[in-house]
Amino acid sequence: MQLTILGCHAATPRKNGQTTAQLLEIRGQLILIDCGEGTQMQLRKLGVKFARIQHIFISHLHGDHFYGLIGLISTFRLLGRSADLHIYGPKGIKEIITLQLKLANSWTDYALYFHELDHSEPEQLLDHEKFAVTTLPLKHRVYTNGFLFREKKSPRKINQDAVVTYGIDIADMENLKQGKDIRLADGTLLANALLTLDPEPSKSYAFCSDTAYLPKLADWVYGVNYLYHEATFLDMHQDLAKKTQHSTAAEAAQIAATAKVGQLILGHFSSRYPDRNEFITQAQKHFNNVHLAEDGKRFDW
Amino acid sequence: MQLTILGCHAATPRKNGQTTAQLLEIRGQLILIDCGEGTQMQLRKLGVKFARIQHIFISHLHGDHFYGLIGLISTFRLLGRSADLHIYGPKGIKEIITLQLKLANSWTDYALYFHELDHSEPEQLLDHEKFAVTTLPLKHRVYTNGFLFREKKSPRKINQDAVVTYGIDIADMENLKQGKDIRLADGTLLANALLTLDPEPSKSYAFCSDTAYLPKLADWVYGVNYLYHEATFLDMHQDLAKKTQHSTAAEAAQIAATAKVGQLILGHFSSRYPDRNEFITQAQKHFNNVHLAEDGKRFDW
C-alpha cells in the first residue's frame, strides 16, 4: 500500500497548506479519500493519471473535506474521461454535485455513481476483487465516516524450485495458489505446503477524520498496519476538542494503543500551533510509532 | 484603480495556473470578480485582508469562474468575519451556496446578501458613493455577465494658494468642491475656476469573460481605461471559438479598437498554446495596447 497526503490542515486552506485529501494505492488501484479545495492541483503536481482514480470516499460535508470534489468531477469531464467514477459520501452529496452540474449545463460524459451513506454502524461499501472498504462511523458535528481499507487474502505463491523438482503440470498451478494439495499421476499426494510459499500478509489502512474521541473505534481498526487519526488539538485545548467534536493528539494515540495498530499518522492540525513537535510528544505518552502528516508526504508498507 | 489577476486560465486549474479570479481596488474598496477554485489561497498569498472584500461579482456558473466561492464564504465564517458580504451572480447561485451551508450545518455569522441576475440588458447593480457597477450581458453557453466598474466624478480640488490669496472662508470649501462660484462680502463674484483645480478624471474598468464575439459590447465599454476581454483561442481555432462561444485574441482586439479603450488585457487562455506571444501578435493587428494576463500580475492606472 502507498498513502500520499495531499492535504492535512483543518478548517481552511493556508498559504502553503491544503485541507484534507489523501491518495491511497491499494493493489494497483488508486483511491481518493476526501477532497478539500485544490485537491485537483495537488494531483496534477504529483503527475497522477486522473483516469486511474475510480473511487472517491468523502468522510463528511464540511468544506475542508469536499469543496474540491465538484472541481475534480468537472475537470475529469473537460479532459475527456470515459471511465466510471464512484463517489461514496453522506446523504446530500448527490444533490450538491448534480445541482452544480445542472446550473453549469455541464453533465459528465462518463458514468458518475453516487453511493450515499447514512448508517450509524460499519457497513461494507466496496467488495473489490483485491480489497474491501468498510465505513467507520465517527462522532462529529455532522454525519461523518472514516473508512477501513483492507486487502483481501492473496493467493499462495508458487515455489518455482519445488514445482520443477516434482514435475508439476502447469494446469495445477491455479489449484496450488488456492492452497489445494496435488495428486501426481502415480497416486502420490503432495501437500500444498511442499509446493508453495506463504503469500504477503494482507495489508490494511484506516482513515479516521473528523471525530471526537471515540473509544469503540479501537475495536473497528484493531491491528491495522496504519491508522490515520485526526489530532486537531493539543492537551491545552481539550475543551475546544470536546466542544467542536475533534480529538487531541493524546486521544488519537490512545485509540492507536488500544487497537494495537502498527503505525499512527496524525493530521488535521489546527492552525493555532506553529510548532508541530508537541503533537508527537503528547501522542508518544500513549503510543510510540507516531508520524505527522505533511502535504506531499508518502507512506509505504 | 488597481487590478490584480489572481487567475486567468480557462476550463481547469493547472499545476501552476489558476482559473479566473481578479481583485479590483477602486477608490479604496476591494472587489472580487469571479472566484475559481483556489482563489482564497491566492488572496492569502497576496496578504489581502479578507474583511476588506464586501462585494463579489460572479460572471457565470461554470466551475472555472465560481468553484472557489463556497470555500471563500466558509473561510470568512471560520475566521470570524462580521462585515456584510454581497454576492452578485446568475440566478441559482443562492441555492448552490445555501444548500452547501445547510448540509455542512454551517451558516455564516455575518450577513450574506445574494443579488441574483437574469436581465439580458445592462443594469446597474451597485451605486456606491464613489463608484458604480453595471452588468454587461455577454454571449456564452450559460447566462453570463461582464461587469463595468466606473468611478463617480470626483469633487473639484481646492487651489490652496488661491483660497488664501482671496481670503475664502472655510465654510465655502464644500461649495467650491461642488463647482459653485463664490460671492465675497464686498459683492465680488469669484468664478469657481479661479479657486479650484480639475479633479482626477474618473477611471473605469470593464471585465468581459466568457463570451463569444459580441460587437455591441463595444458600445457598452466605449472609452474605458482598461478592458479585460477573454481570448481563449487563436485564429487557427476560430471554429472552436464559435462552437464553445468563446473569443479569439483578434476578436477581443476588434472590440477594444471599436470601443477606443485605453488598454486591453487578454486572458482565459486555453491550455493548448504553450507560447502566449501569438496572442499579442494576432491582437495587435487590430489594436496596439495589448497586455497578457498572468497570475499575480498587477495593473495600475
Q: What is the DSSP string of B234-266?
A: -GGGHHHHHHHT--BHHHHHHHHHHTT-SEEEE
Q: Which residues pair with A35 in a beta bridge?
A: A21
CB contact under 8 A, B99 and A104: no
Show which of A197, A228, A259 is a domain's final residue.
A197
Cis peptide, bond prior to residue A239, ω within 30 of zero:
no
> Residues in chain B whose beta carbon is closer than 8 A to a beta carbon of chain A?
11-15, 37-38, 40-41, 44-45, 61-63, 67-68, 70-71, 74-75, 78-79, 90, 92, 95-96, 99-100, 103-106, 141-142
Peptide bond into A300 cis (omega under 30): no
pLDDT category at A94 given cuts 50, 70, 90 is very high
B298-300 vs B2-7, strand pairing mode: antiparallel
Domain-terminating residue out of A58, A88, A118:
A118
Report chain A residues whose CB lies below 8 A from the CB of B74.
Answer: 12, 63, 67
What pLDDT band is residue A200 in, cutting at 50, 70 and 90?
A: confident
Domain match, A9 and A99 both: yes
Structural domains in chain A (count): 2
CA distance linking residue B161 with residue A222, whole number of Å: 85
Interface probe for B, chosen from A35, A39, A41 (most Cβ of B below 10 Å), is A41
Convert the pLDDT of each residue in B75-92 to its tens digit: 999 999 999 999 999 999
Among residues A176, A197, A218, the one where a domain terminates is: A197
Instruction: Report strand pairing: B182-183 vs B298-300.
Output: unpaired
Q: Choose the weakest-confidence range: A87-91, A141-145, B9-13.
A: B9-13
For the question of residue A127 being annotated catalytic, the response is no
- A32 domain residue, yes or no: yes
Q: Which residues of B fall within a CB distance of 8 Å from A13? A: 38, 40-41, 44, 71, 75
B267 vs B292: CA distance, rounded Å: 6
B74, B95, B141 member nearest A99 (Cβ): B95
Kindly tell me the sign of the dihedral angle through the C-alpha atoms of A72, A77, A81, A86: positive
Q: Both A8 and A98 in a single domain?
A: yes
CB distance B15–A41 less than 8 Å?
yes
Interface probe, candidates A37, A46, A50, chain B, greatest B C-beta count within 10 A: A37
pLDDT of residue A16: 83
Measure the CA–CA gap between A273 and A13, rounded to whole angstroms: 15
Collect all residues of chain B within an 8 Å Cβ-Cβ radius of residue A14: 41, 44
| Same-domain pairing of B237 and B292 | yes
Does A9 reside within a domain? yes
Average pLDDT of span A128-157: 96
Looking at residue A93, its pLDDT comes to 98
**Predicted pLDDT at B200:** 87
Please provide the size of chain A in residues. Answer: 301
A164 — pLDDT class (breaks 50, 70, 90): very high
Q: Which of B13, B92, B105 sits opposite A41 (nearest CB)?
A: B13
Taking only the tens place, the pLDDT of each residue in A257-287 is 999 999 999 999 999 998 999 999 999 999 9
- Cβ(B136)–Cβ(B146) below 8 Å: yes
Residue B70 to residue A75, Cβ atoms within 8 A: no
Report whether B55 contacts B32 (CB < 8 A): yes
- The pLDDT, as a whole number, for residue A26 is 97
Q: Which residue of B41, B61, B74 is in closest CB contact with A15?
A: B41
The mean pLDDT of chain A is: 96
Q: Which residues contact A68 (CB under 8 A, 6 or more apart)?
A: A19, A21, A35, A36, A37, A38, A39, A40, B37
Give a yes or no: residue A129 inside a domain: no
pLDDT in the model for residue B156: 94
User: Is the residue at A55 inside a domain?
Assistant: yes
Q: Mean per-residue pLDDT for B140-154? A: 96
Residues of B in contact with A142 (CB under 8 A): 103-105
CATH of the domain at A65: 3.60.15.10
Residues of B in contact with A103 (CB under 8 A): 61, 90, 92, 96, 142
CA distance A130 to chain B (A): 32
Task: Kindly state whether residue A271 falls inside one of the protein's structural domains.
Answer: no
Is residue B129 exposed (0-12), middle (13-18) or buried (19+ Cβ within 10 Å)? exposed
Rounded to the nearest angstrom, the minimum Cα separation between A292 and chain B is 23
> Residue range A244-255: average pLDDT?
98
- The alpha carbon of residue A60 is apart from the nearest alpha carbon of chain B, in Å, by 8
Let me know whether B97 and B135 are in one domain. Answer: yes
pLDDT of B105 above 90: yes
Among the partner-chain residues A63, A95, A104, the one whose CB lies closest to the CB of B71 is A63
- For testing the chain A interface, which of B93, B100, B232 should be mutated: the one with the most A CBs within 10 Å? B100
Interface contacts (A, B; CB < 8 Å): 102
Q: Does residue A114 sit in the same domain as residue A168? A: no
Could you tell me if A71 and A164 lie in one domain? no
DSSP sequence for chain B: -EEEEEE-BSSS-BTTB-BSEEEEEETTEEEEEEE-TTHHHHHHHTT--GGGEEEEE---SSHHHHTTHHHHHHHHHHTT--S-EEEEEETTHHHHHHHHHHHTT---SS-EEEEEE--SS--EEEE-SSEEEEEEE--SSS--EEEEEEEPPPPPEE-HHHHHHHT--GGGHHHHHTT--EE-TTSPEEPHHHHEEPPPPPPEEEEE-S-S--TTHHHHTTT-SEEEEE--B-GGGHHHHHHHT--BHHHHHHHHHHTT-SEEEEE-B-TT-S--HHHHHHHTTT-S-EEE--TT-EEE-
If asked whether residues A173 and A110 sit together in one domain, one would say no
The SS3 call for residue A288 is coil
pLDDT in tens, B244-293: 999 999 999 999 999 999 999 999 999 999 899 999 999 999 999 999 99
Do B234 and B118 share a structural domain? Answer: yes
pLDDT for res A158: 96
Dig out the grid coordinates for B85 from the structure: 458580504
Q: Helix-strand-coil percent breakdown of chain B, rounded to 5?
A: 30, 30, 40
The predicted-structure confidence for B23-61, as pLDDT tens digits, reads as follows 999 999 999 999 999 999 999 999 999 999 999 999 999
Does residue A7 sit in the same domain as residue A106? Answer: yes
Are A3 and A70 found together in one domain?
yes
Strand B226-230 and strand A204-208: pairing?
A: unpaired
CA–CA separation, B205 and B301 (whole Å)? 10
Domain, as residue range, for A166: 157-197
The CA-to-CA distance between both ends of chain B, in Å, stands at 5
Q: Within 10 Å of residue A111's Cβ, how many Cβ atoms?
A: 11
In contact, A295 and A42? CB cutoff 8 Å:
yes
Q: Are strands B21-26 and B29-35 parallel, antiparallel or unpaired?
A: antiparallel
With CA atoms as reference, the chain B residue closest to A47 would be: B15
Distance set, CA B110 to CA A122, B79, B118, B239 (Å) = 38, 11, 26, 46
Q: Are A288 and A11 in contact (CB under 8 A)?
A: no
**Cβ separation of A70 and B62 shorter than 8 Å?**
no
3-class SS of residue B204: strand
Q: State whether B63 and A105 contact (CB < 8 Å).
A: no
> Nearest to residue A156, comparing CAs of A186, A205, A191?
A191
Please choose, from the candidates B2, B35, B19, B10, the residue with its C-alpha nearest in 3D space to the C-alpha of residue B295. Answer: B19
pLDDT at residue B16, as a whole number: 83
Choose among B225, B191, B221: nearest CA to B301: B225
Please answer yes or no on whether A13 and B71 come within 8 Å at the CB atom: yes
Find the chain A residues whose C-beta atoms sit closer than 8 A to any C-beta of B: 11-15, 37-38, 40-41, 44-45, 61-63, 67-68, 70-71, 74-75, 78-79, 90, 92, 95-96, 99-100, 103-106, 141-142
Kindly state the average pLDDT of the residues B150-154: 94
Residue A282 forms part of a structural domain:
no
| Residues B230, B242: Cα–Cα separation, whole Å | 13
Residue B15 CB-density burial (10 A; 0-12 exposed, 13-18 middle, 19+ buried): exposed
Per-residue pLDDT at A117? 98
- How far out from the chain centre does Cα B229 lie? 11
Mark whether B143 and B90 lie in a shared domain.
Answer: yes
Length of chain B: 301
Chain B: residue nearest A68 by CA? Answer: B37
Q: Are strands A298-300 and B2-7 parallel, antiparallel or unpaired?
A: unpaired
What is the rounded (10 degree) CA torsion for B111, B116, B117, B118?
-170
Do A9 and A108 lie in one domain? The reply is yes
Q: How far is residue B174's CA from residue B193's CA, in Å, rounded to a whole number?
A: 14
Judge whether residue A15 has pLDDT over 90: no
- What would you report as the CA-atom Rg of chain B, rounded to the nearest whole angstrom? 22
Catalytic residue among A34, A64, A210, A295: A64
User: In this complex, do A68 and B37 lie within 8 Å of one another by their Cβ atoms?
Assistant: yes
Residue A145 covered by a domain: no
A95–B99 C-beta distance less than 8 A: yes
Instruction: Give the pLDDT of residue A78.
Output: 95
The C-alpha cell 477573454 sits at B230
Mean pLDDT of B117-133: 97
Q: What is the pLDDT of residues B171-220, one digit of tens each?
A: 999 999 999 999 998 999 999 999 999 998 899 999 999 999 999 999 99
Instruction: For residue A104, tell me if it sits in a domain.
Output: yes
Return the residue matching grid coordinates 467534536: A245
**Average pLDDT of B128-144?**
97
Q: Do A78 and B12 touch (CB under 8 A)?
A: yes
Minimal C-alpha gap between B6 and chain A (Å):
14
